[in-house]
């Protein structure tokens, strides 16, 4: 039995016309001797009736923030509808499809509602269906707790479902079908002439995904990597060969940079020693914020000041904490963190200099930088984000 997991994103299942393309992909897999196991996301994007964000808009913010269990129950509906509708279309096309919830497919999670982690998979049900020549259509993004409560795996979690099943079923491959040709050197909505990456390592794509590229969920990459199952990212609407993600990446390519991505909604926070003289809380700021569950990044600590960024969503809590500690601070809102990723830039001198020069030549103010062995980050004003990405894309000839 050669199993292939085929995951179809929200756009791919949103209309009858698109679902026809899904049927073609399933038929092709069967023709090539594979037993497909499908994973589907909720149909469409915000505004469309059964999209996750549309469903979430049915309930009050306060209720959903304090009733995580109810929020999960509501969010699970989108994928349930999608799996039944997709199964109906497949059935009408002569394919014996069987819709299954995450729990019915054997995905057990912890109790961390809204951001649950898979703790076990019991794939017997799927194996049974596949061995009967049937095609399971599993709801993405969800599982069930030991006590039978429905959980979700965090936004973008349908990719994770595909990887979880791919590994549990020892699939030949995990195919992630979406609305672009594969992993590109930058988001094609941001960089018009972004290029398709043919082959990329798990490690590089994890970095891209973690730093903002929504094309695949980082957790899905991690899970597939641990099980050593190759991932293919493909376009539902075309026959483009897509991007292959495996352990080795592209041996024949010695590009220094792989891609550029970004994250919006960052706030830069600066707290100076001079402004906070005599305030004993100053040296414990990081502890104070950690105790209030505010996560920080781009942290730079100098003798004269402490600088870091937080998510826009944490602004209110941050200000409450700093004000009640009588700390003086400066905020720069509407910032974006642009990340340049490349596995071969380690130890090459002048990369940061090249980035800074390119940005300043284009009058883009760099508020802060940071680097790790594979990534260089620049914090810029969000109004400059798109231009910064395009400038860097050109600078590194991606
Ligand atoms: P799906 O609903 O199929 O999961 P997503 O919206 O989650 O689709 O992911 C696909 C989108 O990811 C594309 O439409 C594209 O705009 C965006 N994207 C961001 N970065 C990249 C990248 N480096 N390569 C390809 N697509 C990217
Ligand atoms: Mg997605």
Q: 29 pLDDT band (50/70/90 cuts)?
A: very high
149 is written with which tokens? 């409560």
**Could you give the percent of the chain with pLDDT greater than 90?**
92
The closest of 85, 88, 169, 81 to 131, measured between CA atoms, is 169
Q: What is the pLDDT, as a whole number, of residue 92?
A: 97
Q: Is 17 exposed, middle or buried (0-12, 13-18, 19+ CB in 10 A)?
A: exposed
4 is written with which tokens? 């292939």
d(CA 379, CA 310): 12
Which atom of ligand 1 lies closest to the CA of 11? 2
For residue 344, pLDDT over 90 is answered with no
| Gyration radius (Cα) of the chain, Å | 23
Mutation pick for ligand 1 pocket among 215, 237, 240 (CB with most ligand atoms within 8 Å)? 215
pLDDT digits (tens, 9 = 90+) for 144-182: 999 999 999 998 999 999 999 999 999 999 999 999 999
Give the number of residues written for the chain. Answer: 398
Structure-token match 């969000």, residue found: 382
Domain parsing of the chain, residue ranges: 2-246, 259-395
Q: Which residues surround ligand 2, an ion (CB under 5 A)?
A: 156
Structure-token match 């390519």, residue found: 253
Q: Is 91 exposed, middle or buried (0-12, 13-18, 19+ CB in 10 A)?
A: middle
d(CA 339, CA 384): 14
Sequence-separated (6 or more) residues with CB below 8 Å from residue 132 = none
Mean pLDDT of the chain: 95
> Mean of the pLDDT values across residues 368-392?
95
Residues 158, 119, 97: CA angle, nearest 5 degrees: 45
Mutation pick for ligand 1 pocket among 187, 193, 216, 262 (CB with most ligand atoms within 8 Å)? 187
35 is written with which tokens? 């037993």
pLDDT digits (tens, 9 = 90+) for 57-113: 999 999 998 999 999 999 999 999 999 999 999 999 999 999 999 999 999 999 999
* Extended strands (E) in 33-91: 35-40
| Minimum mean pLDDT range among 5-9, 63-67, 326-330, 341-345 | 341-345
For residue 299, pLDDT over 80 is answered with yes
d(CA 196, CA 344): 19
Q: How far is the CA of 228 from the centre of ligand 1 (A)?
A: 23
User: For strand 142-144 and strand 173-178, is the pairing parallel, antiparallel, or unpaired?
Assistant: unpaired
Q: How far is the CA of 359 from the centre of ligand 1 (A)?
A: 25
Q: Which protein residues are within 6 Å of ligand 1, measured from CB? A: 9-11, 41, 156, 178-180, 183-184, 186-189, 208, 213-215, 259, 261
221-to-236, 253, 260 alpha-carbon distances in Å: 20, 21, 18
State yes or no: 11 annotated in a binding site. no
- DSSP classification of residue 196: B
Q: How far is the CA of 162 from the centre of ligand 2 (A)?
A: 11
Q: How far is the CA of 55 from the centre of ligand 1 (A)?
A: 21
- DSSP classification of residue 348: -
The closest of 396, 328, 391, 327 to 364, measured between CA atoms, is 391
**10 Å Cβ neighbour count for 136?**
27
34 is written with which tokens? 């594979």
Q: Which ligand is nearest to the CA of 79?
A: 1
**10 Å Cβ neighbour count for 161?**
29
**10 Å Cβ neighbour count for 304?**
7
Mutation pick for ligand 1 pocket among 214, 392, 398 (CB with most ligand atoms within 8 Å)? 214
Q: Which ligand is nearest to the CA of 189?
A: 1
Residue bearing the bigger pLDDT, 158 or 342: 158
pLDDT digits (tens, 9 = 90+) for 105-122: 999 999 999 999 999 999
State yes or no: 178 annotated in a binding site. yes
Is-contact 109 145, C-beta < 8 A?
yes
Q: Which ligand is nearest to the CA of 213?
A: 1
The closest of 389, 284, 393 to 336, measured between CA atoms, is 389
Q: How far is the CA of 180 from the centre of ligand 2 (A)?
A: 11
CATH 3.40.1010.20 fits 2-246, yes or no: no
CATH 1.10.3720.10 fits 259-395, yes or no: no
| Minimum mean pLDDT range among 125-139, 166-180, 240-254 | 240-254
**10 Å Cβ neighbour count for 357?**
12
C-alpha atoms less than 13 angstroms from C-alpha of 324 in its C-beta half-sphere = 8
Q: How far is the CA of 204 from the centre of ligand 2 (A)?
A: 18
pTM: 0.93
For residue 347, pLDDT over 80 is answered with no
Structure-token match 């079908």, residue found: 177
> Mean of the pLDDT values across residues 305-312?
97
């Amino acid at each position: 039995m050669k199993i292939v997991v085929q995951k179809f994103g929200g756009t791919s299942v949103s209309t009858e016309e698109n679902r026809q393309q899904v049927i073609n992909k399933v038929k092709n897999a069967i023709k090539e001797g594979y037993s497909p196991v499908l994973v589907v996301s909720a149909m469409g994007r915000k505004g469309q009736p059964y999209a996750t964000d549309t469903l979430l808009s049915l309930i009050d913010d306060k209720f959903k923030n304090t009733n995580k269990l109810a929020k999960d129950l509501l969010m699970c509906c989108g994928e349930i509808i999608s799996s039944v509708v997709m199964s109906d279309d497949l059935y009408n096309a002569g394919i014996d499809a069987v819709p299954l919830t995450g729990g019915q497919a054997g995905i057990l999670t912890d109790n961390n509602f809204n951001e649950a982690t898979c703790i076990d998979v019991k794939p017997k049900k799927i194996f049974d269906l596949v061995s009967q020549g049937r095609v399971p259509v599993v709801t993405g993004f969800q599982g069930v707790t030991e006590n039978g409560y429905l959980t979700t795996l965090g936004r973008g979690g349908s990719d994770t479902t595909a990887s979880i099943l791919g590994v549990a079923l020892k699939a030949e491959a995990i195919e992630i079908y979406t609305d672009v040709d594969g992993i590109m050197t930058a988001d094609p909505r941001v960089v018009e002439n972004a290029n398709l990456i043919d082959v990329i390592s798990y490690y590089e794509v994890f970095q891209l995904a973690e730093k903002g590229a929504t094309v695949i969920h980082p957790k899905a990459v991690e899970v597939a990597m641990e099980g050593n199952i190759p991932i293919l990212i493909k376009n539902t609407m075309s026959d483009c060969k897509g991007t292959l993600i495996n352990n080795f990446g592209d041996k024949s390519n010695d590009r220094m940079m792989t891609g550029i991505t970004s994250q919006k909604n960052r706030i830069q926070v600066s707290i100076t020693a001079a402004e906070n003289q005599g305030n004993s809380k100053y040296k414990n700021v990081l502890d104070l914020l950690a105790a209030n569950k505010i996560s920080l990044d781009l942290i730079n600590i100098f003798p004269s000041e402490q600088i870091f960024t937080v998510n826009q969503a944490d602004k209110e809590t941050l200000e409450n904490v700093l004000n009640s500690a009588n700390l003086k601070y400066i905020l720069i809102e509407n910032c974006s963190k642009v990340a340049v990723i490349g596995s071969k830039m380690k130890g090459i001198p002048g990369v940061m200099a090249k980035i800074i020069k390119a940005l300043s030549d284009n009058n883009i103010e760099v508020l802060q930088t940071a680097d790790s062995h594979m990534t260089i980050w620049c914090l810029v004003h969000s109004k400059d984000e798109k231009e910064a990405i395009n400038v860097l894309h050109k600078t590194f000839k991606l």
